[in-house]
Amino acid sequence: MINWRMEEKGFDPERISHVGNKFLTGNGYMGIRGTLPEYEKEQFVAVNLAGIYDQVGDGWREPLNAPNGLYTYVQFEGKQYRLPGGTPLLHTVSLDYRHGVFERTSSWETPKGKLTVTAERFASMREKHLLAMKYCIRCDGEGELLLTSGIDGQVWDINGPHYNEILLQGDEDQVILQAVATTHESKDQVVVCEAYTADFAAAVEPVREDRRILRRLTLQVKAGVQYHIYKYVSVYTSKDTSEYLKQAEHLVRSARDSGYDRLMEQHREEWERLWRISQVTIEGDDQAMEALNYSLYHLHCIAPRHSDHLSIAARGLSGQTYKGAVFWDTEMFMLDFFLFTEPGVAKSLLKYRIDTLEGAKKKAKHYGYQGAFYAWESQEGGYDACSDYNVTDVFTGRQMRTYFKDKQVHISAAIAHGIMRYVNYTGSYDLLAEGGAEVILECARFYYDLLLKRVNREYYELHDVIGPDEYHERVNNNAYTNRMAKFTFDSAVFLLKSLTDLGSQVEERIKRGYDIERLLKQFSDASGKLYVPEPDPVTGVIEQFDGYEKLEDVGIEEVRGRLLHEKEYWGGAYGVATHTKVIKQADVVTMLNLFSKEYREDILLKNWEYYEPRTEHGSSLSACMYAILACKCHMPDRAYPFFMKSALSDISGKGKEWAGLIYIGGTHPASSGGAYMTAVEGFAGLHTEEGMLKATSCLPSHWTRMEFHAICQGRLYRIEVTQKDSQIMDLGELM
């Protein structure tokens, strides 16, 4: 049985950041870190918003955190009782990750006896602009209680502050409070409205502090009586609607009229609807089952169901880390979960890339290339937020030149792969007709422009790139990059030969915009002649890039021992791993996963055994690739610890939080997606053959049974896998 609850007891100020990630709640429109109602910006409070960004001066452009409408704390008999100040008698935080409900309980000793504060809150899955919180106080003795509650506009920002001004106002009775914040860059507005109800009578005093609008409720509490306040918070931006102020106020009034219990009921119903398809059952390993479903909870929290063309940032909605940008993580590690359980969300993620094609073409042109060079760190419009100086040297404090933005050209192939993955799995050409065809053709044009040919060789090469392994920059013929470029060429050839299947409008559009015969000839030639490193005839190992075998072959721990500072970056020009065979994350292994049918099983195994001891797993994207390939080598028990590493990444809090002096903490949705891929595509062996869903059991030895659902070509299936066999039951067409 799944416990469906995460809990931590005791208060440790050093764990505030980790707890904020672990107990995140969200609904795709916004993510609320697992912080306490009384916390302020120093405790990393964030109501992080999807798809809206701002830049201040020369700082990094990043997503917005909204003013905090949940802000609440208590004072009893003249003394405040709130964390992180003081030491509580008891403190517990918990998360019901079945239904996305965060809870806290804290008790303090007072001169009048024990004072206990409990609170629960959720980001509504029914109404994406709404937050709701129930806050309760109980004291063993009588006395005067002051409860302060309202909107805190002192926002935590990594590269802010992002609001030029915040206008604060309240109605006559202070029942509804409002904060309207205006950004620097685009003068976008974020409005937060807060309303409350209480089950007690109290004197109400308005309070205005620096960027805070609050109310102070004063009452005489009786011993042993519990007092409740209910808060309703709406969040809108000027990007959502032209009537954002009106709708924000209307929503909190409506929520207040509906009441907390009704809103909670509706919220739970939406979560149950999601779990009916996405829940994974594992018999024989409750820890794995809970960790996996907790990972899926995080993916549900950040799915942009409110939009038909929005993607997911690398750190989800856990804050401004990585500038809230969309990476290749989405297409290569998160897409499959949504493709199998919510194809509409999967389409939205890819529509984002279609919508940002012009941005990708502008980036290619900037570097002197044709076609589409997608942003490494993509924000709205395809703007590349990645800096040329992306890491800070821990010794000098100076910015270090990195080449993520201009040399990680494999990003465009990830987009093409995601689109074709959707097409092949759904059996639908709708995404191609809505602009996906042009995306693939433009990505192919980009790679064609990158091709090099030496005078004395007959094949094409790709030079001066960075593969998934970011510790080695500016290498030639990275196996993963070259093979993905070939995939892009092959996809473009397929499209050009299948134009009649896309409909007359698409066919006419492509014919008007492209010289089809010329492109067919170019892309076919490029695919046939592009160099992709072959397995060594003796060792079976595929060289990661030209010259990799000549690097120092040294163990990971020895390289770690060369660090002079714990936050020192391992890559770059002078990193401790740069001149060694130690790699950051799965590279060749990722390629072999994607194209495993092209290699014998012994080649897959030899490369797994060669590269894994040399992989530092410095990225949360790495472990799942080794886990899935281990399953393809019929080694589920060797895959298992890598699967658990992925599934536990946001539970354990052991993920890397620094790149040089840059904070990169937050949740790890790609790792969550990787855990799902390992379970469903690795251990259950789920795949398609000629459009038919198939499963091949490869369960860890201590698992007895696994069950889950998947959507394929518009039909819902239940898949049951045991140690001996697998069954796929067709549950019918989705309505």
C-alpha dihedral sign at 31, 33, 37, 38 = negative
- Could you give the residue ranges of the DSSP H alpha helices within 74-233? none
Q: What whole-number distance in Å separates Cα of residue 362 and Cα of residue 400?
A: 25
Concerning whether 473 is annotated as a catalytic residue, the answer is: no
Which stretches does DSSP call E strand in 319-378? none
Q: What whole-number distance in Å separates Cα of residue 355 and Cα of residue 372?
A: 12
Q: Give residue 308's identity as a one-letter amino acid code.
A: D
Q: What whole-number distance in Å separates Cα of residue 131 and Cα of residue 520?
A: 53
Contact 202, 146 (CB under 8 A): no
Q: What whole-number distance in Å separates Cα of residue 158 and Cα of residue 619?
A: 21
* Burial profile 196-220: b = 16 or more Cβ within 10 angstroms, e = fewer: bebebebeeeeeeeebbbbbbbebe
C-alpha dihedral sign at 559, 560, 561, 565 = positive
Q: Which of 194, 470, 616, 681 is catalytic?
A: 470
Q: Give residue 700's identity as a one-letter amino acid code.
A: P
Contact 176, 153 (CB under 8 A): no
Which region, left, alpha or beta, applies to residue 529 given φ > 0 means left and ψ of -120 to 50 means alpha? alpha
C-alpha dihedral sign at 620, 621, 624, 629 = negative
User: Structure tokens of 154?
Assistant: 């002192």
Cβ atoms within 10 Å of 92's Cβ, excluding its own: 16
For residue 533, what is the DSSP state? P
Q: Give residue 409's identity as a one-letter amino acid code.
A: V
Q: What whole-number distance in Å separates Cα of residue 289 and Cα of residue 3?
A: 10
Element (H, E) at 220: strand 212-221
C-alpha dihedral sign at 15, 21, 25, 29 = positive
Contact 583, 608 (CB under 8 A): no
State how far Cα 329 lies from the chain centre. 8
Element (H, E) at 602: helix 601-611
Q: What whole-number distance in Å separates Cα of residue 442 and Cα of residue 343?
A: 25
Q: What whole-number distance in Å separates Cα of residue 248 and Cα of residue 245?
A: 5
Q: Give residue 540's identity as a one-letter amino acid code.
A: G
Q: What whole-number distance in Å separates Cα of residue 479 and Cα of residue 347?
A: 29
State how far Cα 354 lies from the chain centre. 19
Q: In whole angstroms, how far apart are CA 70 and each of 130, 174, 207, 455? A: 11, 15, 15, 67
For residue 84, is the peptide bond before it cis, meaning its omega torsion is within 30 degrees of 0?
yes
Q: What whole-number distance in Å separates Cα of residue 155 and Cα of residue 303?
A: 24
Q: What whole-number distance in Å separates Cα of residue 38 and Cα of residue 403?
A: 42
Residues tagged active-site: 470
